[in-house]
Amino acid sequence: MESYDLIIIGGGPTGLNCAIAAHKEGLSHLVLEKGVLANSIYNFPDNMTFFSTSKRLEIGDVPFISHTEKPTRREALEYYRRLQQAWSLNVHTYEPVSKMEPDGTGGYLISTSKRTYQARAAVVATGFYDTPNMMEVPGEDLPKVKHYYDDAHPYVGQEVLVVGAANSACQVALELWRKGAIVTMAIRGNAIYKGVKYWIKPDIENRIKEGSIPTYWNSTVQSIQADTVTLQTPEGEVELDNDWVLAMTGYRPNYDLLSSLGLEIPEDEARVPNHNPETLETSLPNVFLAGVVCAGMKTNSLFIENTRDHGTVIAKQVARRVPKLQPI
């Protein structure tokens, strides 16, 4: 059985940052990623641009070079590939974790789809972008319903309903409309989300006001059919001709996975996994949280740039504890 001082669950920016911190502390490490390297960023829209500057996204003392101040998805993927190579990080992709249990020595046995590993300590850095908030309506499982947006080209000339009022929904609606899709929005409130970026908000509000993007306020999706979608509006049910539904309704941590790992999750609105915000240690000894998963459902409170110290905080604690733990 392969054994490591630190196993990191999640191979995104935070997971890689934790691996670099472990390397600096002389800890043996393994990163387990269920998909590709930086899987969440890989699933971002093809032409996405980060809100943060490349400088604020840098980790591991490796410069993040981009053609403009704010990098693109393509540039970010190149950066994280280069980061792994520069630090010779031990990353296993396409290896989802299924469970974690104590090994009787103070460490843990971590099982994946392929094998079981032993770890003196573990970090859960799984983010939240892999688990969309579902609408829970009939027809949501139809192929025409997407919870991720890729590119505008497939939707040109198509009737598209965009659900949501935050950054992603507004950006998607604007891009689709400009590329030639027939766009309608369904928004459960009476206004565009106040946190929408300052250069996007007036644009979408003006397109709605002029009628370019018809919008149903205080409305929700009731059901989805092959060629139509039914909305519940203040005036009653409305049926729209429809080719695609893009549900930009946000994302959440993978609570099923977190529970299977043995983490305690309060049943309140925030659902922040129990952990010490100073040390990042959970109620399980030597198991830590890192990155945006620390925020639970408050997914807009933590980002890559303001969690860059998590790896260092964790690795230093593990390095102090390793000599005191039983050999593995």
d(CA 223, CA 233): 13
Chain segment 235-258, per-residue pLDDT in tens? 999 999 999 999 999 999 999 999
Residue linked to tokens 């299924």: 98
What pLDDT does 327 receive?
54
What pLDDT does 324 receive?
62
d(CA 221, CA 80): 38
What pLDDT does 326 receive?
58
Q: Do domains 3-131+251-324 and 145-247 have the same CATH topology?
A: yes
Please say whether the beta carbons of 19 and 91 come within 8 A: yes
What is the torsional sign of CA 14, 19, 25, 27? positive
Please state which of the four CATH numbers 3.40.50.1240, 3.40.1190.20, 3.50.50.60, 3.40.630.30 is assigned to the domain occupying 145-247: 3.50.50.60
What pLDDT does 48 receive?
82
Please say whether the beta carbons of 84 and 16 come within 8 A: yes
Please say whether the beta carbons of 254 and 260 come within 8 A: no
What pLDDT does 328 receive?
52
What pLDDT does 27 receive?
96
What distance lies between CA 317 and its chain's CA centroid? 26
Strand extents, DSSP E, the chain: 3-9, 29-32, 91-92, 97-102, 108-112, 116-124, 145-146, 159-163, 182-186, 215-216, 220-224, 228-233, 236-241, 244-247, 287-289
d(CA 177, CA 184): 9
Per the CATH hierarchy, to which homologous superfamily does domain 3-131+251-324 belong? FAD/NAD(P)-binding domain (3.50.50.60)
How confident is the chain (328 residues) per 10-residue block, as mean pLDDT?
Answer: 96 96 96 95 85 88 89 94 96 97 94 96 93 96 96 96 96 97 97 92 97 98 98 98 97 94 93 96 96 88 83 96 66
Q: Which amino acid is at 46?
A: D
Local structure of residue 291 (DSSP, 8 states):
G
| Structure tokens given for 176 | 């689709």
What pLDDT does 45 receive?
83
List the chain domain ranges.
3-131+251-324, 145-247
Note the pTM of the prediction, 2 decimals: 0.88
